[in-house]
Structure 1
Amino acid sequence: MPSIYDLKPRFVALLKPLAARLAQGGATANIVTLAAMADSIIVGLVLAIWPDVTWLWLILPVFLFLRMAANAIDGILAREFGMKSRLGAILNEVGDVVSDAALYLPFALLPGVNPIWVVLAVILAIIGEMTGILGQVIGASRRYDGPMGKSDRAVIFGILGFAIGIGAPVGAWINWIMIAICALGLVTILNRARQALKETPR
């Protein structure tokens, strides 16, 4: 199924000049990965500590865009500047799930929002990424199938953060969005598992 991840090649092409300058300045892929994860934790803590300060939620869509850029840049540095490593692969996958959890769990603290759905959405996101990685374990490729991949989640949660930040009333309507994210997360897990199995011989 289609995913916003399909637009990544164009996004990467735009960031190549910046990645080249960072490489010339001594930045490494692992440093970019770790910085993105650390900053995600900081942003998540800010939102968790002050969830009722609505304007702070405007930080989320801006940061999610910057995080996507950082993820693309660390990939460029790894592939095109000889920085690919086994440690980098581990940091990349761990950093993604840690960052997602840090940035999205604060939604559970909003009034009128059922924390169960938020936590479940994060758990399914982690399982979805694990399923994508397991493709490689069984001899297939790393699966990024949608409809609820990392980029898709970032767009949805970013829009939610923007809506809250500009004063949209916080309430039970967010629960329905979380339920939809959970449902699409389940579909994503099944899609990634099915596509990985298709790639490998029986």
Structure 2
Amino acid sequence: MNGLYSLKPWYADRLRPVRHLLVARAVSPHLISAAGVLAGAAAGLTLAVLRPGPVAGTAVFVLLALRLALANLDGAVARETGTDSRFGSVVNEIGDRLAELFALAGCVVLAPAALVAVAALAASTPSWVSLAGAAAGGTRLTGGPMGKTERCLVLAIIAAVGWATPLLVVLAVGSLLTVLLRLWRLREVLPC
């Protein structure tokens, strides 16, 4: 059920030189989280400003790949420097949600605003379920058929081809399916 999330260890290994550089330069994990929000916002702005096509698709893909890298690096740098904290986890989660919402907001020029709002709500819900499960004593679930990485890929495809309405429907339905699967997994591990 982990989808593209299963590539995270491989991706984290590729980011090791960048992580070491950030640690050597004493870059704050909170600053890295903030940069991830800016990358998400830049992707949303790109979606809103550029006409769908190869340039927009490539730009959004690069910006969202940067956003995912920064989402990986903030926690990794915090752990490596011994500055990880519960508050840092809160900053990380808020940063992830804001980056994604800002990126999705760029679709408002390509699709009905109500659909963009529904897709944004649906995209946030898998994280809420995972956080609620962790708060109840379960594990922090990740991945799924429409996890964070897949949602970024859908946005890059929207930027490349412009099919915002059908792809936002796919994103919303896939996110809700991810919610159901995560709830099912939590039901299996948490006592009633």
TM-score of the two chains, using structure 1 as the length reference:
0.85
Query: For this pair of structures, how many residues does the alignment match?
Result: 191
Alpha-carbon offset, residue 176 of structure 1: 1.8
Q: Does 1:176 align with 2:166?
A: yes
Which portions of structure 1, spanning 4 or more consecutive aligned residues, are displaced by more than 3 angstroms?
Answer: 45-48, 51-58
Structure 1 counterpart of 2:62: 62
Counterpart check, 1:121 vs 2:119: yes
Deviation of the 1:145 alpha carbon? 3.7
1:35 aligns with 2:44: no
* CA RMSD between the two structures: 2.0
Percent of aligned pairs with the same amino acid: 27
Matching residue of 1:132:
130
Report the equivalent of 1:44: 44
Alpha-carbon distance, 1:52 to partner: 4.6
8 Å Cα contact 1:3/1:145 also seen in 2 = yes
Deviation of the 1:43 alpha carbon: 4.2
Give CA deviations for 1:131-185 in whole Å, capped at 9, x if unaligned.
1111111110111141111111011211222x24xxxxx4xx4322221221111
Please list, as runs of the form range in 1=range in 2, the aligned pairs for 1:1-202 lying within 5 A after superposition. Answer: 1-45=1-45, 47-48=47-48, 50=49, 52=51, 55-56=55-56, 58-110=58-110, 113-161=111-159, 163-164=160-161, 170=162, 173-202=163-192
Could you tell me how far apart the structure 2 residues matched to 1:70 and 1:37 are?
Answer: 9
Counterpart Cα distance in 2 of 1:40 and 1:60: 9
Q: Is this contact kept in 2: 1:145–1:192, CA < 8 A?
A: no
Equivalent residue letter for 2:123:
A
Structure 1 CA distance for aligned equivalents of residues 80 and 43 of structure 2: 30
CA distance in 1, matches of 2:166, 2:39: 29
CA contact (8 A) 1:140 1:197 kept: no
CA distance in structure 2 between the aligned counterparts of 1:130 and 1:102, rounded to whole angstroms: 18
Q: Give distance in 1, aligned partners of 2:171 and 2:133.
A: 22
Q: Distance in 2 between matches of 1:191 and 1:96?
A: 21
Q: Judge conservation of contact 1:51–1:109 (CA < 8 Å) in 2.
A: no
- Is contact 1:124-1:182 (8 Å) kept? yes
**Aligned partners of 1:42, 1:183: CA distance in 2, in Å?**
25
Which amino acid in 2 is paired with 1:198?
E
